[in-house]
A and B are shown apart, each in its own frame.
Chain A
Amino acid sequence: METVPKGENAQTSLKVRVWRGDAAGGEFREYAVPARENQTVLDVVTQIQREIEPDLAYRFACRVGMCGSCAMEVNGRARWTCRTHVKRVAAPGEALEIRPLANLPVIRDLATDMAPFFDKWARAGGTFQPKDAPDGAVPAEFSVVPPESKQRREADAGIECIGCGVCYASCDIVAWNPDYLGPAAMNRAWTLVNDVRDGARRERLEAVSGDAGCHSCHSTQSCTERCPKNLDPSSAIAGLKRTLFWDSLWGRLR
C-alpha cells in the first residue's frame, strides 16, 4: 500500500482502491492521491499513473464525454470516468473503488477488450444497408425522410449512442448468457429497423431474435438507468419484441 504523499494530511488525501491484474486474475491495490475540490475519476486514475504507478493500464481519449473510451466500474457502477466528479460518487473521507468494465475480458488493469461488444454490433446487423444500393454505393436519388415522422423519431431517440459499453457492463442478461447481444447492439438495430432508407429490415429482425437476442431481455432497465447519454435501450429492445411479435403472427417473418 502506498503512503500518503508528503504535505498531504488525512483531510486532503483521497483513498483509491484500483483493480490491478490481467486475464488470469488480479486484486485491488490501495493508493492515496491529493483530494481536490474539483476532480474527475479520470483525473484520479491519471494522477496515479503519472505519479505512483507508471505501468497502470487504462484507456481514454477525449476527456470530455465524446469518445466513449474511458468507461470503468466506479464504486460498483459502470460510468464514464471523465464525466464523473469524485464528489458525486464518494462522500468526503470515503474511498473510491475502480475496476474494469464488467462482462468484458480484461486486457490489463482497467483496460478491457471491447472486441466482443463490437462483434455483437455486427452480429445484430448494425451496418446501414442502403435500399437501392445493396453494395453500399450512394443511391442515385436522395430519400425524403420527414423528421417528424413516427419512424424517424424512434430512430433519432437511439441514434446518439457512442458505443462506450456502460449499458453492456450493466446488463444482467449479458452476465447470465455470454452470447446475448446486449443493449447497445439492439438499440442500434432498432434505429436501423426504423430507418426508411434501410433495406435489410428482415435480416436484421432475424438477427436480433431468440435466446441470444431481444427475447431474453427482462426489461430490468439497468441499461436505460445507466446510459450516460440518457438513451433508452430498454425501450428499443421492447420495440424489437413488439415488431417481431406482430411480424411473426401475421406471417411477415416465417
Chain B
Amino acid sequence: MSARAGRHLWVAQRVTAMFLGVAVLVHLVTIMVAVRGGLTATEILARTQGATLWFAFYAAFALAAGLHGAIGLRNIAMEWLGWRGRGFDFAWLGIGVVTALFGVRAAWGLYVS
C-alpha cells in the first residue's frame, strides 16, 4: 500500500474515532433513557419506525464502526501476524464493508418494518 493510502487510512481512523466518541455516548444515553419505561419491541419500533434522523444516525454509526474496526484490525494483523500486502488489504476492506452493511441493514430494518 502506498504511503499516501496509508496516511488516508490513518486520517479516516481518527475522524471515525471522533465521530464514534460522540455516537457511542448518544447510543448509551438513549439506552438508559429507553429502558426506564421497560424495554419492549413495540416501544423501540415506535421510536425508530419512519424516524429518518435515527436511521441516518445509526447508518453513519455502522459505517464509521465498520471502517474504524477494519483499519484497526489491519494494523494489529500487520504488526502481530505479519499479514501485509494487497491481498490482506482487500480482505480487510471486505470485512469492513460487510460489518458496516450488517449494521446499516439492522438500522434499515428498524426504520421500515
Which A residues contact B (CB, under 8 angstroms)? 173, 176-177, 206-207, 209-213, 215-216, 241, 244-245, 248-249, 253-254
Q: How far is the CA of A254 from the CA of B4 in the complex (A)?
A: 8
Q: Of the candidates B3, B11, B14, B80, which one forms a contact with A207 in the assembled complex, judged by CB atoms under 8 Å apart? A: B3
| Given A210-B3, A254-B4, 9 new contacts (CB under 8 A) | A177-B79, A209-B3, A210-B4, A210-B6, A210-B10, A213-B6, A216-B75, A245-B14, A248-B11
Q: Which residues on the A side are within 8 Å of B14 (C-beta)?
A: 245
- A198 CB to closest chain B CB (Å) equals 19
Query: With A176-B79, A177-B78 as given contacts, are A209 and B7 in contact (CB-CB < 8 Å)?
Result: yes
Chain B residues 1-29 with CB under 8 Å of chain A are: 1-11, 14-15
Q: Which residues on the B side are within 8 Å of A249 (C-beta)?
A: 11, 15
Q: Which residues on the B side are within 8 Å of A210 (C-beta)?
A: 1-7, 10
Q: DSSP majority for the A interface?
A: helix
By the criterion of a CB under 8 Å from any partner CB, how many residues of chain B are at the interface? 18
Jot down 20 A-B pairs with beta carbons below 8 A, ordered by A: A173-B79, A177-B79, A206-B4, A209-B4, A209-B7, A210-B1, A210-B5, A210-B7, A210-B10, A211-B3, A212-B3, A212-B6, A213-B6, A215-B10, A216-B75, A241-B10, A244-B11, A249-B15, A253-B7, A254-B4
Contact across chains for B79 and A209 when beta carbons are under 8 A apart: no
Least CB separation from A248: chain B residue: B11
Q: How far is the CA of A245 from the CA of B11 in the complex (A)?
A: 6
Least CB separation from B1: chain A residue: A211
Q: Of the candidates B3, B8, B80, which one forms a contact with A213 in the assembled complex, judged by CB atoms under 8 Å apart? A: B3
- A79 CB to closest chain B CB (Å) equals 26
Contact across chains for B6 and A211 when beta carbons are under 8 A apart: yes
- Fill in one digit per residue for B51-90: 1 if any A CB lies within 8 Å of its CB, else 0: 0000000000000000000000001001110001000000
- A13 CB to closest chain B CB (Å) equals 44
Q: How far is the CA of A185 from the CA of B15 in the complex (A)?
A: 27
Q: How far is the CA of A236 from the CA of B9 in the complex (A)?
A: 21
Contact across chains for A244 and B79 when beta carbons are under 8 A apart: no
Query: Nearest 4 CB-CB pairs, A to B?
Result: A210-B6, A210-B3, A209-B7, A209-B3
Contact across chains for A206 and B3 when beta carbons are under 8 A apart: yes
Q: How far is the CA of A206 from the CA of B9 in the complex (A)?
A: 14
Q: Which residues on the A side are within 8 Å of B10 (C-beta)?
A: 210, 215, 241, 244-245
Q: How far is the CA of A207 from the CA of B5 in the complex (A)?
A: 12
Q: Of the candidates B6, B15, B78, which one forms a contact with A209 in the assembled complex, judged by CB atoms under 8 Å apart? A: B6
Least CB separation from B75: chain A residue: A216
- A250 CB to closest chain B CB (Å) equals 11
